[in-house]
Amino acid sequence: MKIFVIGSSITSSYWNGAATYYRGIYRGLAELGHKVTFAEPDAYGRQQHRDDVDLSYVKSVVYQTPKDLGWLMSEASEAELVIKHSGVGIDDERLEREVLNLRSKRTRVAFWDVDAPATLARVEGDPRDAFRRLISQYDFIFTYGGGPPIVDHYLRMGAKSCHPIYNAHDPSTHHPVPPSEHLICDLAFVGNRLPDREARVEQFFLEAASLAPEFAFVLGGEGWGSKRMPANVRWIGHVGTKDHNAVNSSARMVLNINRNSMADVGFSPPTRVFEAAGAGACLITDHWTGIEQFFVPEKEILIARNAQDVVSLLRSVDAESARSTGSAMRARALEEHTYTIRAREVDEILATAYSAAISAA
């Protein structure tokens, strides 16, 4: 099947947490025989911060906006499936409307939401939101996560269907590597400074550092330069995809902190969870509903509800125990949570729908 995708960026993880997800999903679909084109706007400095990764499995297209949008729609019309991801960042409202004009007997259109809690909160908060009346017109709604609450919400908003396709592990890109001396620490966290994450980073990471001055903390991600931090926290700036393995393999423990919206809804493990699992890192995560669907608490993943819990784990879990927990998490990820498995889920959903359409014709 020819698939044409419009998303924030597959070439760069710069201010773009969805890059790993896109690469895993579309590599998996390409391996199943689909021909994928991924189109992204030249925006937010991402083309100046492209990751050094293999993208041979897709045709990567970088377009200028808004002048290339007519050409973009013409190119997309040749596909059998057009996917508009949420959060492209430029012309989202226009794209969500115009891709629906491509629907035909040959071409189906999907909306793939990589931040469903935020999308649905926005739509519910504004009855005039333009996307509200478009939901029912898409042939498929896919989501990055969210589980039953998000599925139920989208169906109540008129969606024909809603399919959560969770983050996963890509063994070809995330795996154990030798520790890097300049990254060795007791606890590492990588995440950009965002409004609905900052308070939780203060609560779980920075406060823990203040409570445990005997430990070394490393903070990665954009936007933290002006933030006041305890003396035992070292900010290392943007961490490109190729360096995630080094961070995860060098820290005794790695911290996951969900954004507020994802934590509230649950069933939304971010990419960093599976990147850490791939490296065999011992992961501490803030609590969210649905963790048990992915990893066994206390055996494969450690849970903290506040900074005091984080410090308690740092003081009670030695290096050997941390390695054991990380190894168990990696084994579960390889067995049940790879992008190959996720891509098969998407492929089966598409095959079933297209088969049903042929039968009804």
Residues 332 and 343 in one domain: no
Query: What contacts 186, CB < 8 A, 6 or more positions away?
Result: 215, 216, 217, 251, 252, 253, 314
Q: What is the pLDDT of residue 261?
A: 80
Residue 360's pLDDT is what?
Answer: 65
pLDDT value of residue 359: 65
Separation of alpha carbons 183 and 243, rounded Å: 10
Q: Which tokens is 331 given?
A: 């084994």
In whole angstroms, what is the distance from residue 256 CA to residue 149 CA? 22
Instruction: Give 269's contacts (C-beta < 8 A, 6+ positions apart).
Output: 145, 166, 167, 256, 291, 294
pLDDT for the residue 358: 66
Domain total in the chain = 2
DSSP 133: G
pLDDT number for residue 361: 57
- Looking at residue 241, its pLDDT comes to 85
Residue 174 resides in a domain: no
Residue 35 maps to a domain: yes
Query: Quick one: 308 and 345 in the same domain?
Result: no
Each residue's pLDDT tens digit in the chain (361 positions)?
999 999 999 999 999 989 999 999 999 999 999 999 999 999 999 999 999 999 999 999 999 999 999 999 999 999 999 999 999 999 999 999 999 999 998 999 999 999 998 899 899 889 899 999 999 999 999 999 889 999 999 999 999 999 999 999 999 999 999 999 999 999 999 999 988 899 999 999 999 999 999 999 999 999 999 999 999 999 999 998 889 999 999 999 999 999 888 888 889 899 999 999 999 999 999 999 999 999 999 999 999 999 999 999 999 999 999 999 999 999 999 999 999 999 999 999 999 998 877 666 5
Output the pLDDT for position 260. Answer: 82
Shared domain for 134 and 61, answered yes or no, is yes
CATH number at residue 127: 3.40.50.2000
Q: Do 68 and 152 belong together in one domain?
A: yes
Handedness of CA 112, 115, 121, 123 (dihedral sign): negative
For residue 131, the model assigns a pLDDT of: 97
Domain of 225 in residue numbering reads as 181-336
